[in-house]
Amino acid sequence: MTDERSSSADAGSDARDDPASTDSSDEPGADVESSGDETDASRLSLDRFHEACQQVGRPVLTADAVARSLERSQEAVSEDLEALAEAGSVQRLSVSNDPVVWYPSELEDLTEEERVVVFPKRREIVVDRPTQFTRAQLSQFAHLADGNGEEGYRYVVRPEDVWQAPHDEFEALARTMRQALGQRSEELEEWVRSQWERARQFRLYTHEDGYTVLEAQTPEVMGNVARQKLDEEHVHAPISDTEDWVREGAEAAIKRILYEAGYPVQDHRDLDAGDALEVDLEVSLRDYQRTWVDRFAEAGEGVFVGPPGSGKTVAAMGAMAEVGGETLVLVPSRDLARQWADAVVEYTSLGPHQVGQYHGGQKNVRPVTIATYQIAGMDRHRSLFDDREWGLVIFDECQHVPSDVYRRSTHLQSQHRLGLSASPIREDDRQTEIFTLVGPPIGTDWQALFDAGFVAEPELEIRYVPWGDDEQRNAYASAEGQEKYRIAARNRGKVDEVRFLLRDHHDAKALVFVDYLAQGRELAEALDAPFLSGETPHHERRRLLDEFRRNERDLLIVSRVGDEGIDLPTADLAIVASGLGGSRRQGTQRAGRTMRPAGGALVYVLATRGSREEEFARRQLQHLGRKGMTVRERTVDREPDGEEADSSEAT
């Protein structure tokens, strides 16, 4: 029988950043009002600092966390912490990508020092017990490839990491490297210098007559690289030995082609600045969000990359306030357009009359317009967006940009371009196009956010489930290719496993994810719970999700539409009955539905034991393991009474 894959017609991608989680009263960056004049008796002592640590449950605190714990103003607490630091009672750790944190001096005696080992030929760095400072410095020029917090962190220095390093001069980057490594690695430094220079060989600029020019540093690099890779589709004719006249609309293609050749292009064009629009952000940004916005403001382009719950949407509103120009936001679905419009009105100084939506449901172009990618890419609507000069274009869920449908919207070039993504990886390996069409990644180490308490690390467990009946087991044995995965994914034994987990966590608010409509309907019937899919009308989706948010409903069955294009509420428990064999990004998003500051969340991934699905689930979740999350594995054996028998577990 032919099965239906769950619809993603209304879908976008990735977990949504819950604006409610950034309410200024809960933010580490929110000010706490003083109840009165400060007195000597109320000043911060080392004992009171220890009390704050005990209350919060962490030995390392930001000044804001201490202020909230002691119900004092942030300014006063910061002054007291400085005084304690001068006396040697506490230590401060100030880094560029993470919050400033404070900890008792004696804590240093209880921890082992970090160890950094450099492998220059492999361009790898292994760090055991890295400090926040070291991780922040490494993130400026290296990629975290593996890290679980116990066996150490493995960083790889890739060309693209050097190309996007947030430094104007190489010597500044070299100093950052030496601070992170605690030493000078001449071989690695020389290679980094060569990549730094490659990133400055080409630039696009606007000629005084209004057309775009591609300029190379030398005639040799122009002749041996650009003029070998580009043709008449991209350039009209040479202007000089180092300059070519660029065809209108070919700029994005030129940037992509030269990027793939190992030469990223500096974009210095005089692009549309857009009409001025005064925007004030009415919530406080966390320190790392402020760092994202500052790096974006300096470069004029970039992609905010962070786990679900890290506040990418609010940071994007911070970028809107920084740019101060009319803004176009592109989203995958009308559901996200509505959520964006509500969030902009709630968290900025803009009123509803200044925010418009443009999609199948309504068509209003206003100073801030939220449109779907599909509409923006259609020829009959394109002029509506082209005719208005946008100071900022935001590409939400920008991992979709390289796809043929979505990339048509990237003709909208503005002075500032910003992408948002929890996981800008693609199974077709076209993620480099994201950074050439939108901008380089700007992000924070996931583990740093876990450690700082901004995002809770969920407990993630793969559970290998036995077959529910011999009919499916025999069908799997005789099937071939993708049919094997489909049968394993729809293993009826998973219904009993979902029942067991829900009974075991009876107080939890739960989301159950499926990849197949028939499986979703079967689970919905067995559990007497609603099934939310692409076939669910928009008004019905909104009602069900609102009931879940208000705690009027504690269980939803969700299809792939939950990964793409709607803002799912936070859950205590996520059960992935099928779907993680699809993509690494999907694994990130479904696990991410529990990544919020509250903590204590659980994610269970069900895979049929001994099938291809088992292999897929293990491989795809390695991506989360490399981001610092702990992934456990358990083989399930079920007794006739439904109780769990002995099982094997591996960490």
Using the 8-state DSSP alphabet, how is residue 550 labeled?
T
The structure's pTM equals: 0.54
Residue 260 is predicted with a pLDDT of 84
The string of pLDDT tens digits covering residues 467-490 is 998 999 999 999 887 788 889 989
Query: What residues pair up with 635 in beta bridges, in sequence order?
Result: 464
Clarify whether residues 272 and 258 are in a common domain: no
- Mark whether 464 and 613 lie in a shared domain: yes
Interval 510-539: pLDDT, tens: 989 888 889 999 999 999 999 988 788 878
Question: Nearest Cα to 254, choosing from 237, 236, 230?
Answer: 230
Number of domain units in the chain: 4
The top-scoring range by mean pLDDT among 9-18, 272-281, 488-497 is 488-497
- Tell me: do 421 and 296 sit in the same domain: yes
Q: How far apart are CA 565 and CA 210, in angstroms?
A: 39
Instruction: Check residue 23 and report its DSSP letter.
Output: -
pLDDT score of 253 = 83
Q: Based on the fold, state whether residues 435 and 500 are members of the same structural domain.
A: no
Kindly indicate the confidence band of residue 99, based on its pLDDT and cuts at 50, 70 and 90.
Answer: low
R_g (Cα) of the chain, nearest Å:
26
- Residue 394 pLDDT more than 50? yes
Please give the share of the chain, as a percent, with pLDDT higher than 70.
71
Same domain, 347 and 413: yes
Asked if 130 and 38 sit in the same domain, the reply is no
List the structure tokens of 172.
Answer: 């500044």
Q: Taking a C-beta distance cutoff of 8 angstroms, is the pair 571, 593 a contact? A: yes
Residue 420 buriedness (CB in 10 A; 0-12 / 13-18 / 19+): buried
Least trusted range by pLDDT, from 195-204, 343-352, 454-463: 454-463
Residue 451: inside a domain, yes or no?
Answer: no
Neighbours of 321 (CB within 10 A): 17
pLDDT at 334 over 60: yes
DSSP, collapsed to helix, strand or coil, labels residue 84 as helix
Q: Which of 142, 138, 175, 139 is nearest to 160 (CA)?
A: 142
Q: What per-residue confidence (pLDDT) applies to 427? A: 37
**Phi/psi class of residue 600: alpha, beta or left (left: φ > 0; alpha: ψ in -120 to 50)?**
left
Return the pLDDT at 379: 63
Mark whether 425 and 552 lie in a shared domain: no
| 122 and 43 within one domain | no
* DSSP secondary structure letters along 340-407: HHHHHHHHBS--GGGEEEESSS-B---SEEEEEHHHHTSHHHHHHHHTSPPSEEEETTGGGTTSHHHH
pLDDT of residue 549: 82
Q: Closest Cα to residue 468, out of 502, 510, 499? A: 499
CATH value at residue 297: 3.40.50.300
Provide the pLDDT for residue 343.
93
Give residue-wise pLDDT tens across range 549-593: 888 999 999 887 655 445 556 677 888 898 754 444 444 444 444
List pLDDT tens digits, range 52-79: 776 665 667 888 888 887 888 888 888 8
Q: Nearest Cα to 634, choosing from 642, 626, 644, 620?
A: 644
* pLDDT over threshold 80, residue 101: no
Q: When comparing pLDDT for 270 and 231, which is higher?
A: 231
**Would residue 307 count as lying in a domain?**
yes
Residue 398 has pLDDT above 90, yes or no: no
Q: Is there a domain that residue 22 lies in? A: no
Q: Has residue 17 been placed in a domain?
A: no
Among 92, 119, 89, residue whose Cα is nearest residue 188: 119
Least Cα distance to 418 among 504, 507, 317 occurs for 317
| End-to-end C-alpha distance for the chain, whole angstroms | 39
**Do both 553 and 412 map to the same domain?**
no
Residue 409 near residue 330 (C-beta atoms within 8 A)? yes
Instruction: Provide the mean pLDDT of the chain.
Output: 77
pLDDT at site 295 = 87
Q: Which domain holds residue 52?
A: 29-98
Q: Are residues 37 and 143 in the same domain?
A: no
The answer to whether residues 346 and 471 belong to one domain is no
Report pLDDT for 26.
34
In Å, what is the CA distance from 139 to each residue of 135, 142, 155, 398, 606? 6, 5, 9, 21, 33
- pLDDT tens-digit map of 357-379: 998 778 888 999 998 888 876 76
Q: Which of 445, 471, 505 is the last residue of a domain?
A: 445
Residue 190 lies in a domain: yes
Most confidently predicted of 95-104, 354-363, 453-462, 558-567: 354-363
User: What CATH number is given to the structural domain containing 60?
Assistant: 1.10.10
Last residue of a domain, one of 445, 470, 494: 445
The SS3 call for residue 475 is helix
Domain assignment present for residue 377? The answer is yes
Task: Give the model's confidence band at 495: pLDDT under 50 very low, under 70 low, under 90 confident, else very high.
Answer: very high
Q: What percentage of the chain exceeds 90 in pLDDT?
A: 28
Ramachandran class of 100: left when φ > 0, alpha when ψ lies in -120 to 50, beta otherwise? beta
Same domain, 189 and 217: no
Residue that terminates a domain, selected from 98, 132, 148: 98
Q: Give the range among 5-14, 202-211, 264-273, 307-316 with minimum mean pLDDT.
A: 5-14
> Is 177 contained in some domain?
yes
Q: Is 107 within a domain? A: no
For 404, phi then psi, to 5°, come to -60, -35
User: What mean pLDDT do residues 338-363 have?
Assistant: 91
Alpha helices in 149-217 (DSSP H): 159-163, 170-181, 186-198
Question: In this model, does residue 127 exceed pLDDT 80?
Answer: yes
pLDDT at position 302 is 87
